[in-house]
């Protein structure tokens, strides 16, 4: 039942407003028509708790969905009954309505993945593809386990990145605030004093004063330029060409390359392992993995590898020709293909690079933090020297020393 707010025109010509709790909008229209009211507009009145709840389906929501489905399916309950039971425990109205509709479509004969495709804007390609693989291979419960593990890994990495970068970002913001305050407030005050006392100003102080004047006189233009540059970059990176350049930078840029590639290897290994275990051919496995990797540059490179596999080359040989993957990955895949243990080796690689990603992130953090501390310390020392030298000269002129 939904609570509708409506505006209608009565038979007398007057406008009336009100609320009705009805099953759907068709019932509202029927009531208006039966009473000769002209319905002008209406909307569903959200409950108070819904006003502050996001309707977006997050990875946590998907993990919760998979965990509950997994538990119910393992007990022998049918998929449709499991979906009905899970929908009752969902708090987000939009998400709940989607699962209810998906369950109804499955009851009518559609597959779970096909029903999810109707809501492709809400469910990621990875999720829908994995569900499809699980249904086709008859291993939906195992695939749900893989999905849960993979999304938990992504959330852990995201949380680790945010927590690791919090302090460096705080130092960066602090640095900007210090520079602005010094340039706009402190330096102009001392400049005025030095000019009144006719103090000889050294080169370092003149440089600081000139920089301060430039920032204080052009602060609005500087801020607008920075905002404009950020907006341009955001708009550019949202284009197809921009996304390709951005994804290529992630893989080729020296500072973040190793950390990003470690994560890519984890995602690649997990996806490819699921494909191989489900009985999918190497070509289709690579094609599906390339589509799910969420990196346009890597996807384009993998297309060349797929062509090589179609010509009869092994996966390791095809990937080696790309000159992207670490040597350990290539050598491990080469040996595993010879011993027919590809799926097991991919699982080991995922675990190795998952741990290495965590270590690499810690190393990046330990490098960034001292850099910002040194930057702030150097700026403070420079500022003290720029003010202290002419200040001592001024005090000496007035006979304090």
The total of other beta-carbon atoms located within 10 Å of residue 384's CB is 11
Domains of the chain, earliest start first = 2-45 (3.30.1490), 59-123 (no CATH), 142-401 (1.20.81.30)
Mean pLDDT score across all residues of the chain: 83
Percent of the chain with pLDDT over 70: 95
Q: What is the pLDDT of residues 112-134, one digit of tens each?
A: 999 998 888 889 888 988 898 88
Give pLDDT, residue 399.
56
Give pLDDT, residue 106.
92
Q: Which stretch of 232-241, 311-320, 366-375 has the lowest confidence by average pLDDT?
A: 366-375
Q: Which stretch of 152-166, 216-230, 271-285, 360-374 has the lowest confidence by average pLDDT?
A: 360-374
Predicted TM-score (pTM) of the model is 0.67
Is the model's pLDDT at 157 over the cut of 50?
yes
The total of other beta-carbon atoms located within 10 Å of residue 274's CB is 29
For residues 269 and 350, is the Cβ–Cβ distance under 8 A?
yes
Q: Locate 69 and state its tokens.
A: 């489905």
CA dist 165 and 359 (Å) reads 14
Give pLDDT, residue 52.
46
Q: What is the pLDDT of residues 3-56, one digit of tens each?
A: 778 888 877 677 777 777 677 778 778 887 887 778 888 887 655 444 445 568
| 340 φψ region: left (φ > 0), alpha (ψ -120 to 50), beta (else) | left
Q: Locate 123 and state its tokens.
A: 């469910």
Calculate mean pLDDT across residues 237-265.
Answer: 87
Rg (CA), the chain: 31
């Amino acid at each position: 039942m939904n609570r509708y707010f409506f505006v209608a025109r009565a038979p007398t010509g007057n406008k009336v407003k009100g609320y009705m709790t009805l099953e759907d909008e068709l019932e509202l229209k029927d009531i208006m028509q039966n009473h000769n009211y002209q319905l002008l507009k209406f909307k569903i009145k959200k409950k108070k708790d819904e006003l502050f709840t996001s309707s977006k389906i997050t990875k946590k929501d998907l993990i919760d969905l998979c965990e509950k489905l997994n538990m119910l399916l393992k007990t022998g309950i049918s998929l449709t009954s499991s979906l009905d039971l899970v929908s009752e425990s969902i708090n987000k109205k939009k998400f709940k309505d989607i699962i209810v509709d998906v369950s109804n479509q499955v009851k009518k004969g559609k597959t779970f993945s096909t029903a999810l495709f109707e809501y492709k804007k809400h469910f990621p390609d990875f999720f829908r593809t994995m569900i499809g693989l699980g249904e086709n291979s008859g291993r939906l419960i195992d695939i749900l386990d893989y999905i849960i593990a993979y999304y938990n890994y992504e959330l852990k990495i995201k949380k680790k990145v945010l927590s690791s970068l919090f302090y460096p970002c705080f130092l960066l913001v602090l640095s900007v605030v210090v520079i602005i305050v010094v340039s706009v407030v402190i330096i102009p005050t001392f400049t005025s004093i030095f000019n009144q006392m006719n103090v000889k100003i050294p080169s370092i102080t003149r440089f600081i004063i000139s920089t301060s004047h430039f920032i204080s006189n052009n602060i609005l233009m500087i801020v607008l330029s920075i905002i404009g540059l950020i907006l341009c970059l955001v708009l550019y990176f949202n284009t197809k060409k921009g996304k390709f350049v951005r994804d290529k930078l992630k893989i080729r840029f020296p500072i973040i390359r190793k950390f990003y590639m470690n994560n890519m290897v984890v995602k690649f290994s997990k996806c490819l392992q699921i494909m191989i275990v489900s009985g999918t051919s190497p070509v289709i496995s690579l094609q599906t993995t390339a589509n799910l990797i969420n990196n346009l540059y890597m996807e384009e490179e993998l297309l060349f590898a797929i062509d090589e596999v179609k010509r009869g080359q092994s996966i390791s040989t095809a990937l080696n020709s790309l000159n992207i993957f670490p040597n350990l990955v290539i050598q491990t895949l080469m040996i595993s293909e010879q011993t027919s243990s590809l799926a097991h080796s991919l699982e080991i690689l995922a675990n190795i690079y998952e741990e290495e990603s965590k270590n690499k992130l810690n190393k990046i953090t330990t490098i960034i933090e001292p850099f910002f501390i040194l930057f702030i310390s150097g700026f403070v020392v420079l500022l003290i020297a720029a003010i202290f030298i002419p200040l001592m000269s001024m005090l000496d002129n007035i006979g304090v020393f």
